[in-house]
């Protein structure tokens, strides 16, 4: 299999993480291993059970508090740095075909991770590892160096009618 491309899923619409999870499930269906690092997330999302449903072909880890607010704390920075290091290790471990850095673009936007560190990681990654970067606010430089960029645009969303996040759909 020819792995090694860089994907960016960005935009203000719902579905960036869902697309990355779908890719991981599709890959698992072919016997490929995926590591997913979720930045800024510490909530019990349904996808956290993905390891058991994929017989361990998909590993997922969260690097965030239960609630992320825009007032950045030292804890937020440390969790993001820890997550970035775990994702780096996964990329260079030789154990994974795909590594997803979920919400990394948002972590960059809030200055928890440096853009140049992500660029360096992409440039140094082994040729056979596919990398997926998700989240709103993808920096221009990541869009430029990526092989595939999907912008998910919100046209209409039921939260505008007061519908809150639902288990199994948004979380």
* Residue 60 structural domain: 6-150
**Does 164 fall in a domain?**
no
Q: Which tokens in the block code for residue 34?
A: 């995926």
Decide if 169 is inside a domain.
no
| DSSP per residue, the chain | -----EEEEESSSS-HHHHHHHHHHHHHTTT--EEEEEET--S--GGGGHHHHTTTSEEEEEES-SS--SS--HHHHHHHHHHHHHHHHHHHSSS-SEEEEETHHHHHHTTSS-HHHHHHHHHHS-TT-EEEEESSS--HHHHHH-SEEEE---S--GGGGTPPP-TTTT-
Model confidence over 98-135: pLDDT tens digits?
A: 999 999 999 999 999 999 999 999 999 999 999 999 99
Q: Write out the chain's pLDDT in tens, 171 residues.
A: 688 999 999 999 999 999 999 999 999 999 999 999 999 987 778 888 899 999 999 999 999 987 766 788 899 999 999 999 999 999 999 999 999 999 999 999 999 999 999 999 999 999 999 999 999 999 999 999 999 999 999 888 887 888 888 877 777
Examine residue 125 and state whether it is found in any structural domain, yes or no: yes
Q: How many domains does the chain have?
A: 1
**Which CATH number do you get for residue 124?**
3.40.50.300
Q: With a threshold of 0.85, does the pTM exceed it?
A: yes
Q: Is residue 21 part of a domain?
A: yes
In a domain, 159, yes or no: no
């Amino acid at each position: 299999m020819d792995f090694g491309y860089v994907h960016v899923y960005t935009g203000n619409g719902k579905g960036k993480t869902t697309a990355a999870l779908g890719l991981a499930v599709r890959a698992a269906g072919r016997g490929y291993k995926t590591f997913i690092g979720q930045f800024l997330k510490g909530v019990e999302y349904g996808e956290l059970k993905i390891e058991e449903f994929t017989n361990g072909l998909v590993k997922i880890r969260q690097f965030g508090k239960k609630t992320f607010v825009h007032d950045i704390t030292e804890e937020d920075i440390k969790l993001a740095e820890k997550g970035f290091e775990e994702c780096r290790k996964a990329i260079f471990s030789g154990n994974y075909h795909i590594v997803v850095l979920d919400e990394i673009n948002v972590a960059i936007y809030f200055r928890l991770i440096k853009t140049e560190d992500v660029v360096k990681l992409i440039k140094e990654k082994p040729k056979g590892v596919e990398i997926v970067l998700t989240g709103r606010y993808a920096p221009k430089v990541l869009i430029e160096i990526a092989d595939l960029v999907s912008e998910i645009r919100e046209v209409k969303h039921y939260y505008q009618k007061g519908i809150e996040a639902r288990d199994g759909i948004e979380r």
